[in-house]
Structure 1
Amino acid sequence: MSLRIGIDIGSTTVKVVVLDEDNKLLFRSYERHYSKTRERACETLHSIEDMLKGQKVRLVITGSAGLGVAKASDIDFVQEVYATAAAVREYYPDTDAVIELGGEDAKIIFFGGALEERMNGSCAGGTGAFIDQMATLMNVSVDDLDALSLKHEKIYPIASRCGVFAKSDIQPILNQGGRKEDVAASIFQAVVDQTVAGLTQGRELKGKIVFLGGPLHFLQGLRQRFVETLHLDEEHAIFPEDGDCFAGIGAALCATDYEERPFEEVLKLLEESVDARTSVDTMPPLFTDQKDYDAFLARHNANHPPEVDVNTYAGPAWLGIDAGSTTTKMALITADGGLLYTYYHSNQGNPVAIVLEQLKKIYALCGDRIQLKGAAVTGYGEDLIKNAFSCDLGLVETVAHYNAAAHFNPDVDFIIDIGGQDMKCFKIRNGAVDSIMLNEACSSGCGSFIETFAKALGYDIASFSKLGLFSPHPVNLGSRCTVFMNSSVKQAQKDGASVEDISAGLSISIVKNAVYKVIRAANADDLGKHIVVQGGTFLNDAVLRAFEQELDRNVTRPTIAGLMGAFGAALAARNLHLEKSAILDAKALETFTHSAKPVTCGLCTNHCSLTVNQFDGGRRFISGNRCSRPLGKEKVENPDLMRYKYQKLRAMAGKGTGTGARGRIGIPFGLNMYENLPYWFTFFTKLNFEVVLSPESSRKLYIKGQHTIPSDTVCYPAKLLHGHVEALVEEGVDAIWYPCMSYNNDEGIGDNHYNCPVVAYYPELLAANVPALKETKFLDPYVGLWRHKDFAKRISKLMSAEFGIPEKETKAAVKAAYEAYDAYVQDVRETGRQYVEYARGHNMPVVVICGRPYHIDPEINHGINDLITSFGFVLVTEDALSYLEGYAPRKVLNQWTFQSRMYNAARYVCTQPDMQVVQLVSFGCGTDAITTDELRSILEEGGKLYTQLKIDDISNLGAVTIRIRSLMAAMEARKDAAEH
């Protein structure tokens, strides 16, 4: 029998396997292909030419990038799931499931009966590429990341749905002194959670599981996290010796069914296919010639601050520090904004050490000639650096960037700042930051996006970007997820596009992502007439040129685009007009020490992961807290209607007049139960049931139900319900009551009064997907509370059928329940009125949170209400104000109760000088995709600011804090403008 060869061409690697007639492995290789797929495969086959010369072989190709190669070379192809399954059946016939992680693909194959495969769709979170990205972020190799993870002591919750989300969780932990060992293990845990929650889609992972793919083959720490999370023993967790090449082995096994050919013939077919070319979708060039480029450079290089020689200058100076998420920037300026000293470097996860070293350097340069009159700090690490070095001022980064932009262009009306992984855009109105847009879900328009490709193609970012300047045919790569862009880039390469064409295409793609995905602009006028661009990414001339071409207008790029945050902070320090800065002097720096240790706060149910930073002289700074209690301060509780409603509803547990004679009925405390609990609680206690509420939401409760969640894209509030119903089953209740409700009560303020589709019908999804519910009576009938008379009849029949309760008793309970619901609604409105009065009596601004009933759940809102009230606001919710405005037609179909309330509350806020709106949106909410634009237009037409906070299962409040503080700064600036 001839030798069989399997070639598995994946998204990042090529695996080649040779089997003999007894299925013995004669050769295996696993190598990265850096987008040169066919070349890599040919090189590997050449390396084993001696073994195969003159032989007849059967060769089959498989893998996510293999189909194109197979077609071009006319070699047989087998689908990778089929190949993997063939190898698993051959070597581990009693397997129940396979988990395979590749470079960009993650899949689970369930065996037993028909093969069932689940694969990642629109995102590459939880794959090898994600792990590579995280290792780069932490400035270690993947092997080092693995070694670190094996020494962990605690696991932090880190989002794995997207590299950007994960970065925004990891960065604060590192910046606040968290241990790299713990972060490394947390990254692997995030991959496990993504695989279990995202790919099982509700099907249970049990029995014998085979783990395949490069990451699971090479990374011991990742294996450990999977084994512990899935509670597997050695018998049930199988890591094959050749797990990294398993699909290749499967392809070789499948080759048995295909014809044999001389080895030389298949090698020739593969080699000739390398030169195959197809047409590429191209765009006009960025620059036509050198003259065109020189004129562009001259225009932009004119925007520079005066140069001053630090070695000869004598006089006062001001320091600005921008402690960013991945880099630390510093600027020392003179009174007219001249630059004495600048610094821009990666902070290697330890900004304190960097600032310490730079301050010593600055003092050495300054000597006695230069007096430091003020120091200000901004950015992610603001609090830490301010406390460590006693800086005079901490300011929110939006204000720092505006200061700097206005210095170069006093008429600026739009600022766009593209950094390594985040993008910030702010509109300026009347001299204040008005609306803020941040990239929440995706980093495809950011600097790290180009950097990723530059590295993959073997260039550094500066030389890679220059390559595209004069490309005659930039490739049209569209605007998509970074990881999927990989596929577009590879396709373009296969189709013959040069590296120059790809570099130019990526620069244009970044701009399209920024303009159409983050800013969501309809045209250039949506941005403004006077646009200032900044951030390291705009130092890239190709990106800047693409931006000007896309908008068809010239913009301002200061030569210090990457230092604008630090420069703006220095200007703010100058405007303090201090005699002398309080920053630590050269002498104090000599004895400066810093250590950090992680602790978990137990003072309330939030259980914040804190980092305690110790400095010399007994100074300490605690970060990661959402309130002031761990700092030893009494918690100042400003009026907060979110907290009031939550505590009032939660207090119902254990109350009630029911004797429990008819049994215990469980009610899951989630979604629309935040709206209807007063009703159902009264109804069942009146019927002498004991009502048992599910426990308070928590991350732990979410993980309890995680394995039964069938959809990865549904909102977090819905995902939590799985844990709530499982907890009720464990509690041993006699029945669980969770009805489907297409409509809410009609409040007369919209065109209709529908419930959100997810909220309305989630009980049916739970019934179908949570096996534990078979152990109890799960009642999920359709009910219409808004049809009072009809409802009483229908529910009487149901109660009679299920529990044998007489109609008269049920009707009396219905009457009492309606009264209890009305009393609750009135109480919320009255309490809201009192809170507004309190605010006015104490001269405090009011924030109206526009969200859904379930946004009052602390696990869903992550303590955003505590954060807002800690800044000195009084907080009320939309349902306390929505009744104060009548019906008014809207531009969109206004058919959902919760949104109708938001619109009405926003209309009311427009009539009140001391109120502003903050909208909470749960990530993945379909109906809010429509409502946010409508809410924005109501507020902007009424002269108000619009602030939206997107929340998910991630509890890092960094971006939220920026928005709240920017809202405060804008309110302050408006107030100042009005007074002058």
Structure 2
Amino acid sequence: MGLSVGIDVGSTTVKVVVLDDGIVRFWRYERHLSQVRQKTVELLGEARELLEGREFSVAVSGSAGLGMAKAAGLPFIQEVFATAQAVEHSGESVDIVIELGGEDAKIIFLSGGLDERMNGSCAGGTGAFIDQMATLLNVTADELDRLSLEHEKIYPIASRCGVFAKSDIQPLLNQGANKADVAASIFQAVVDQTITGLAQGRELKGRIAFLGGPLYFFEGLRRRFVETLGLAQEQALFPDWGIYAVAIGTALYAQEQGESFACDPLLDKLRASTGQITHRNTLPALFADEAEYEAFLTRHSAAGVATADASTYEGRAYLGVDCGSTTTKVVLLTEDDRILYQYYSSNRGNPVSVIRGQLMQIRELCGERITIAGSVATGYGEDLVKSAFHFDAGVVETMAHFKAARHFCPDVDFILDIGGQDIKCFKIRNNSIDSIMLNEACSSGCGSFVETFASTMGYDIEEFAKLGLLAEHPVDLGSRCTVFMNSSVKQAQKEGATVADISAGLSISVVKNAIYKVIRARSAEELGSRVVVQGGTFYNDAVLRSFERELGLEVTRPAIAGLMGAFGAALYAKELPLRYSTTLGLEELKGFAHTAKATTCGLCTNHCNLTVNTFSDGSHYISGNRCERPLGHRHEKKLPNLYEYKLERIKALRGRPGPRGKIGVPLGLNMFENLPFWHTFLTELGYEVVLSDLSSPALYNSGRRTIPSDTACYPAKLMHGHIENLLDKGIDTIFYPCMSYNFDEGKGDNHYNCPVVAYYPELLRGNIDRLAQVRFLYPYFGLHRPRDFVKRATRYFRELDPTISLPQVRRAADLGYAEYARWHEELCAEGSRAIAAAREAGRPMIVLAGRPYHVDPEINHGIDKLISSFGIAVLTEDSVADLVDPQRVRVLNQWTYHARLYNAAKYCTLQNDTELVQLVSFGCGLDAITTDEVRDILERGGKFYTALKIDEISNLGAARIRIRSLLGAMEERNTRRENEEEQA
């Protein structure tokens, strides 16, 4: 067979294999750090002894290899075919190949015809994802693997990209979750992403070969795959050549090409192919020269803060701690607002340990001369810090940042805070917060966005940021999420962009994302003339310069931009009416100990994953709860919660035996809305209606393998589990109609169901093989025209059972319509009672607005209970939508559920004690419209807009902050109104 060389240039690594008569004589695997050609030349140089003096064939493969192959004139093979060749060459009997690389993931089905599924632009569930998560936990990748082998439980963590995963992991760390459990959960997230994101409805069974670096190096990941897929030992193949599979297949392909090369000419070809292309999509330089940059620095140095010498100061001091998403910040203030002590650093995956160390330093520094007279915590870890170290109070971070900004600019109009994973924007009017905008779950405009790319390229964030300041040709990367940006950055590198050009381009991208995706500003005038920017990201002068240039506005950046949360918390501590502080003293800190134990709450059907933190003084802090029950205390009087009311009504429905047997109905999507009609109609026709069980993670997992697309919303994905649940119950007739139209409520221009709700039965029929073994009924019906429905239903059901007559169908339909109307009337009446009860108790109300299926606890993740825990009554959009006239909006108002949202928003603007929070499911394209319209209605009516994006991940850390931010803004606004009334 001769001598051949296979070069596999992946997204993060280069693999080189030399075959001699089909036998591997040389293999190397190294990271290329974006220096693709240089690293390839280096590895081929190591194989010189085998290659020199002999002719050999060569070929290239890999996601980053095509450009090099073209430039050097070398044969190229697509990696899927290279992998298939390697597996065939191995002689192993394999049905499926799962290969995970640095940023690429693929599944190749070999049995039953070659079929390949590969990730697109998203690097979630790959080696790069694992590297990011290891960095977040402040461990090496090897340490992450070792930790995972010691886990006791698995937390649900998003894996579709590192950004979302961080939003799930950081609260767990801040709340004291065991690192071993988090490590194993990260690997489980990779497995889940592979099954749902790549398999796309095709079952993973037979003998599976697991290839690629992550599966080769991480035993914990291998275990999670085997356990999740339920593979026997002989079904899971983890070969020694797994990381070289593509390179081996490429070398085999090279032999087929027949073209011969010699060692030195090949190396010369590769060296000569570098730097041949220049990138063209560039932006103007951030600074023309050093002088312009120095002038910029001088202007921003004005927003400084005075300091005091802790070694000589005597008196009272005030402590603020901001335990953020990725960093911990500490500020100790004097009576006259000078900083005695400050700290800013990474959480290192263990915020409790970091804060304890800082408090001990502060106590030693203070000695007997300085008295800590007050302490306040803020940020993601606020409650944990308060409990662990007996802080005097906590404050939601939005209020802390507002307090700090006013210190530097008392008449501030607009505040933009960009942190590690969060963007917070505040519009200020009459010296109080008028509206709050936050990024939802994507942190592509945040500090971690730039930091991720810096580490990928081998730089720390400070060095990387400085490189971009004087870059001559910043790359225009637009405003995209981290994983999509990867491909843009790689393309820019291929076209000759320098690291400095990319650094500058990323800084500009951060700003564009904040302005156009979070603030959504159309002009600088919308922000006002006095803008304060803060957060650690603004330490990056390139980001600050980009922001000023994009808006054409000079802004204020405090010298302590990254400490503003802690600084604001310290200012709050000064205002506490305390005789003394309860903060732990030095001796207590020396004896401080902290353990965290994971458990599951069994007090209700939510089965929350709790983390029980126990401290050395015997006190406890429980996190992960969605209500107050596991904490052992509840409000004296239970406030109305219409989510609970609607759910209990659904749960109370029971089928009764009928002469025509059992008929299954899946409890999801529009069935939460239309079930009163269908349950009555089918029962009256003589069927015993059997509902699927309420949604749960287990139910979702039972149908996950049949989901053909990862971009569908979670409520739709759950329908696969509901169908499987009915089949597991032995139901042989399942009814789930397609419905283009909903009931006509007269609130909009039309009354459509969204396409997913309307036609998802068609998708289920095409992707769940077991449905072919039963009678799956998915007729097209419309309930908006009762007479037409009776005619169509009679024809349809008579085909199923000729004994069904027109009078029977008409009677069943009449009773169904009457029952649906009764349910709606009772809901509205319950809404009126809830409003009256809340007002009698003097409590505020929130309309938790969404779709009918958001009542499902597995979909809403207990957000209604979370809101109730703050002493707020919870209403639904459909309980108040009839209390105002139909709204005219700027878009075609053709969806029934959306029309209710607009009416509910209008209702809230007419009530002083009612706000609206909108639930939005990831993957809902229509909500790109509704969110803008609902925001517009609310803000025109002087109300705040809060949206909570939700999917299968149930961590409510971000939701809690958003709701508390809303409550804080409401309190500020009410105080302002009271002051205005007093002055009048």
Q: TM-score range by the shorter chain?
A: over 0.9
- Name the aligned partner's letter for residue 586 of structure 2: A
Displacement of 1:588: 3.5
Aligned to 1:837: 836
Which secondary structure state, in structure 2, belongs to the residue aligned with residue 283 of structure 1?
coil
Task: Give the 5 Å matches for 1:605-644.
Answer: 605-634=605-634, 637-644=638-645
Which secondary structure state, in structure 2, belongs to the residue aligned with residue 261 of structure 1?
coil
State how far apart, in whole Å, the 2-side matches of 1:637 and 1:248 are: 65
Matched, 1:924 2:923: yes
Pick aligned residue for 2:790 from 772, 792, 795 = 792
Aligned to 1:967: 966
Which secondary structure state, in structure 2, belongs to the residue aligned with residue 789 of structure 1?
helix
Task: Give the 5 Å matches for 1:764-783.
Answer: 764-783=762-781
State how far apart, in whole Å, the 2-side matches of 1:944 and 1:478 are: 32
State how far apart, in whole Å, the 2-side matches of 1:857 and 1:941 are: 31
State how far apart, in whole Å, the 1-side matches of 2:279 and 2:131 are: 32
Matched, 1:696 2:694: yes
Contact 1:149 1:182 in 2 (8 A): yes
Aligned to 2:117: 118
Which secondary structure state, in structure 2, belongs to the residue aligned with residue 8 of structure 1?
strand
- Name the aligned partner's letter for residue 650 of structure 1: K
Contact 1:792 1:811 in 2 (8 A): yes
Which secondary structure state, in structure 2, belongs to the residue aligned with residue 262 of structure 1?
coil
- Name the aligned partner's letter for residue 339 of structure 1: I
State how far apart, in whole Å, the 2-side matches of 1:637 and 1:863 are: 16
Which secondary structure state, in structure 2, belongs to the residue aligned with residue 124 of structure 1?
coil
Q: Deviations over 1:12-42 (max 9, x none)?
A: 0011111122x11111111100101111111
State how far apart, in whole Å, the 1-side matches of 2:377 and 2:966 are: 19
Displacement of 1:342: 0.8
- Name the aligned partner's letter for residue 759 of structure 2: Y
Aligned to 1:727: 725
Aligned to 1:936: 935
- Name the aligned partner's letter for residue 465 of structure 2: S
Aligned to 1:899: 898
Contact 1:663 1:734 in 2 (8 A): no
Q: Deviations over 1:739-768 (max 9, x none)?
A: 011001111110000001100000111011
State how far apart, in whole Å, the 1-side matches of 2:669 and 2:429 are: 38
State how far apart, in whole Å, the 1-side matches of 2:761 and 2:487 are: 39
State how far apart, in whole Å, the 2-side matches of 1:916 and 1:887 are: 19
Aligned to 1:24: 23
Task: Give the 5 Å matches for 1:268-347.
Answer: 268-347=268-347
Q: Which runs of 5+ in 2 are unaligned?
A: 980-984
Aligned to 2:704: 706
Displacement of 1:301: 1.1
- Name the aligned partner's letter for residue 867 of structure 2: I
Contact 1:436 1:963 in 2 (8 A): no
State how far apart, in whole Å, the 2-side matches of 1:214 and 1:734 are: 45
State how far apart, in whole Å, the 2-side matches of 1:349 and 1:637 are: 38
Which secondary structure state, in structure 2, belongs to the residue aligned with residue 871 of structure 1?
coil
Contact 2:121 2:483 in 1 (8 A): no
Which secondary structure state, in structure 1, belongs to the residue aligned with residue 622 of structure 2?
strand
Aligned residues with identical type, % of pairs: 60
Contact 2:279 2:497 in 1 (8 A): no
State how far apart, in whole Å, the 2-side matches of 1:645 and 1:339 are: 53
Aligned to 2:46: 47
State how far apart, in whole Å, the 2-side matches of 1:434 and 1:257 are: 69
Q: CA separation of 1:359/1:439 partners in 2, compared to 1, >3 Å: closer, same or farther?
A: same
Contact 1:430 1:974 in 2 (8 A): no
Q: CA separation of 1:746/1:273 partners in 2, compared to 1, >3 Å: closer, same or farther?
A: same
- Name the aligned partner's letter for residue 437 of structure 2: M
State how far apart, in whole Å, the 1-side matches of 2:37 and 2:590 are: 58
Which secondary structure state, in structure 2, belongs to the residue aligned with residue 470 of structure 1?
coil
State how far apart, in whole Å, the 2-side matches of 1:167 and 1:152 are: 19
- Name the aligned partner's letter for residue 800 of structure 2: E
Bigger drift between 400-409 and 44-53 goes to: 44-53
Bigger drift between 208-217 and 860-869 goes to: 208-217
Displacement of 1:58: 0.8
Q: Which runs of 5+ in 1 are unaligned?
A: none
Aligned to 1:82: 81
Task: Give the 5 Å matches for 1:548-697.
Answer: 548-634=548-634, 637-654=638-655, 658-697=656-695
Displacement of 1:93: 5.9
- Name the aligned partner's letter for residue 469 of structure 1: L
Q: Deviations over 1:500-555 (max 9, x none)?
A: 22222222222222222333333333433322111111111111111111111111
Contact 2:58 2:261 in 1 (8 A): no
- Name the aligned partner's letter for residue 762 of structure 1: Y
Aligned to 1:737: 735
State how far apart, in whole Å, the 2-side matches of 1:187 and 1:334 are: 43
Pick aligned residue for 1:755 from 745, 753, 768 = 753
Using structure 1 for the length normalisation, give the TM-score.
0.97
Task: Give the 5 Å matches for 1:425-574.
Answer: 425-574=425-574
Q: Deviations over 1:797-835 (max 9, x none)?
A: 212111232222222111111111110010100000110
Aligned to 2:391: 391
Aligned to 1:64: 63
Displacement of 1:443: 2.7
- Name the aligned partner's letter for residue 64 of structure 2: A
Bigger drift between 747-756 and 794-803 goes to: 794-803
State how far apart, in whole Å, the 2-side matches of 1:389 and 1:43 are: 54
Contact 2:881 2:900 in 1 (8 A): yes
- Name the aligned partner's letter for residue 519 of structure 1: I
Pairwise CA RMSD of aligned residues?
1.6
Using structure 2 for the length normalisation, give the TM-score.
0.97
Bigger drift between 427-436 and 155-164 goes to: 427-436
Displacement of 1:265: 2.6
Q: Deviations over 1:578-617 (max 9, x none)?
A: 2322222334334433222111111111111111122233
Contact 2:94 2:207 in 1 (8 A): yes
State how far apart, in whole Å, the 2-side matches of 1:948 and 1:493 are: 37
State how far apart, in whole Å, the 1-side matches of 2:443 and 2:588 are: 41
Displacement of 1:211: 1.0
State how far apart, in whole Å, the 1-side matches of 2:487 and 2:662 are: 55
Task: Give the 5 Å matches for 1:128-147.
Answer: 128-147=127-146
State how far apart, in whole Å, the 1-side matches of 2:788 and 2:494 are: 66
Q: Deviations over 1:685-744 (max 9, x none)?
A: 222221111001001100000000011111000000000011101111231110011001
State how far apart, in whole Å, the 1-side matches of 2:443 and 2:913 are: 36
Displacement of 1:634: 4.4
Q: CA separation of 1:262/1:889 partners in 2, compared to 1, >3 Å: closer, same or farther?
A: closer
State how far apart, in whole Å, the 1-side matches of 2:244 and 2:11 are: 14
Displacement of 1:890: 1.7
Contact 2:163 2:444 in 1 (8 A): no
Aligned to 2:982: none
Task: Give the 5 Å matches for 1:143-292.
Answer: 143-263=142-262, 264-292=264-292
- Name the aligned partner's letter for residue 677 of structure 1: L
Aligned to 2:418: 418
Which secondary structure state, in structure 2, belongs to the residue aligned with residue 881 of structure 1?
helix
Aligned to 1:911: 910
Contact 1:104 1:483 in 2 (8 A): no
Contact 2:286 2:470 in 1 (8 A): yes
Contact 1:716 1:860 in 2 (8 A): yes
- Name the aligned partner's letter for residue 674 of structure 1: F
State how far apart, in whole Å, the 1-side matches of 2:191 and 2:528 are: 44
Q: CA separation of 1:369/1:202 partners in 2, compared to 1, >3 Å: closer, same or farther?
A: same
State how far apart, in whole Å, the 1-side matches of 2:180 and 2:277 are: 47
State how far apart, in whole Å, the 1-side matches of 2:765 and 2:497 are: 52
State how far apart, in whole Å, the 2-side matches of 1:103 and 1:444 are: 20
Displacement of 1:63: 0.6
- Name the aligned partner's letter for residue 188 of structure 1: F
Displacement of 1:92: 4.2
- Name the aligned partner's letter for residue 841 of structure 2: H
Task: Give the 5 Å matches for 1:837-916.
Answer: 837-916=836-915
Which secondary structure state, in structure 2, belongs to the residue aligned with residue 280 of structure 1?
coil
Aligned to 1:979: 978
Q: Deviations over 1:634-685 (max 9, x none)?
A: 476310111100110111035xxx4322101111000000110011111122
- Name the aligned partner's letter for residue 789 of structure 2: F
